[in-house]
Amino acid sequence: MHLSVALDGAGWHPAAWREPRARPGELLSARYWTDIIAEAEHGLLDFVTIEDALSLQSSRPGEPDGHTGRVRGRLDAVLVAARVAPLTSHIGLMPTIIVTHTEPFHISKAIATLDYVSTGRAGVRVRVSASPAEAAHFGRRDAASLSHGRLFAEASDYVEVIRRLWDSWEDDAEIRDAATGRFIDRDKLHYIDFVGDYFSVKGPSITPRPPQGQPPVGALGNAALPYDLIARAVDVGFVTPRDAADARSIVSRIHVASSACGRVPPSVLLFGDIVVFLGADGRKTRLDELAGEEYVSDAAIFTGSPARLADLLQEWHEAGLAGFRLRPGVIPDDLEAITRELVPELQRRGAFRTSYQADSLRGLLGLPRPANRYTTAGTGRNRP
């Protein structure tokens, strides 16, 4: 099975920053992020996702919650990934970007750059925002444009644009022939000429095709519209089943929808999201008391031993999930329990790798390097 972790501040529990081993004074430092992602790499995990948003963290969807006793403020996820990339060797780096208020041209070159900096280990998790508070930072959208139907349709077009921009340079477009003075072959740069309901993008990109060709694109889904986005547009879908039967149902639903879009299953790798509190010390109960309320999540919450979590992962894996994105309740405690206890337990069962077997994120995920659509088309007419 595949394993990844979702990293957010001091951990997913709002009181995680108050734990003895937490590092609240370093959450905005490069050293903190380097240390925790290096720990994930020590555990041979496929990739990490890095949370991001365009407004302060809040327990209330779409609006501030007024809490002053919880972590507030974060660094830009893409820049964190770029800083960590040269200090890691194998683990994939998948920052979160908010497609609702960013331009696909900018993000395409940012992720292409991350792929170069990491030598082929970049990915990107796309996320929509229906938050009026976030829209107010930009002043370009009214409330009507934040309907979920429009936002997810726009996200689908967004992914298509960044994929076309990644392909707008053929792999051998750069000649770099000092003797003849030719640096690029203009016949191998292409306009993408994308015109849709939400974007009109000429292209080509200003960044050559990424080392992976197409860095993997991920998205979280827990309802019909995001399921459709996962089925239609992304490589890795994060889903939130409650049990094995639910996992089986979700996997079937998305694969059927993916086939209906003309994609060949299993073109989408589905990862189950689980918040984890590992150990027998009652950490979650204690943290709930510190926070003054019970922590709840859109994903299943697991409390217990690494061995019991391994049992659950194997059961859900057999239900059709390709892997799991674990959300550590507390960092570093639960992150280290994943890398130093859960991973060895899965290795003893023959359920997880004992070494990295690929140098790219696509390779780790078993995804082939895709052909360039413009090379495949065999045309040089659509070029700058």
Quote the crossing angle between the two packed helices 104-117 and 148-167, to the nearest 10°. Answer: 50
Does residue 383 have a pLDDT over 70?
no
- The CA distance from 189 to 128, in Å, is 30
Nearest-10 crossing angle of helices 224-233, 148-167: 10
Beta-carbon-side half-sphere exposure of residue 198 (alpha carbons within 13 Å): 22
Give 138-177 as a DSSP string. T----GGGG-HHHHHHHHHHHHHHHHHHHHSB-TT-EEEE
pLDDT at 243: 97
Whole-number Å distance between alpha carbons of 328 and 319: 23
For β-strands 182-184 and 174-177, DSSP reports them as antiparallel
Q: Which residues contact 23 (CB under 8 A, 6 or more apart)?
A: 10, 32, 332
Among 205, 203, 170, smallest CA distance to 188 is for 170
Would you state the pLDDT for residue 66?
79
Tell me the percentage of the chain whose pLDDT exceeds 70: 97
**Average pLDDT for 205-228:** 97
- Predicted confidence at residue 63, as pLDDT, reads 73
The two most distant CA atoms of the chain are separated, in Å, by 71
Residue pair 337/306 in contact (Cβ under 8 Å)? The answer is yes
Q: What was the pLDDT predicted at 379?
A: 53
Q: Which residues contact 69 (CB under 8 A, 6 or more apart)?
A: 291
* DSSP result, 5-25: EEE-TT-SSTTGGGSTT--GG
The mean pLDDT of the chain is 94
Burial class (CB in 10 A: 0-12, 13-18, 19+), 33: buried
pLDDT band at 378 (very low <50, low <70, confident <90, very high): low
Q: Quick one: how far is CA 196 from the chain centroid?
A: 25
- Specify the CATH number for 2-277+308-377; select among 3.20.20.30, 3.40.50.10420, 3.90.220.20, 3.90.1170.50: 3.20.20.30
Contact status, residue 331 vs residue 367, Cβ threshold 8 Å = no
For the segment 61-113, what is each residue's pLDDT rounded down to a tens digit? 767 787 888 899 999 999 999 999 999 999 999 999 999 999 999 999 999 99
CA dihedral 105, 109, 111, 112 (to 10 degrees): 130
Q: What are phi and psi of 178, to 5 degrees?
A: -65, -35
Q: What is the mean pLDDT of residues 303-326?
A: 98
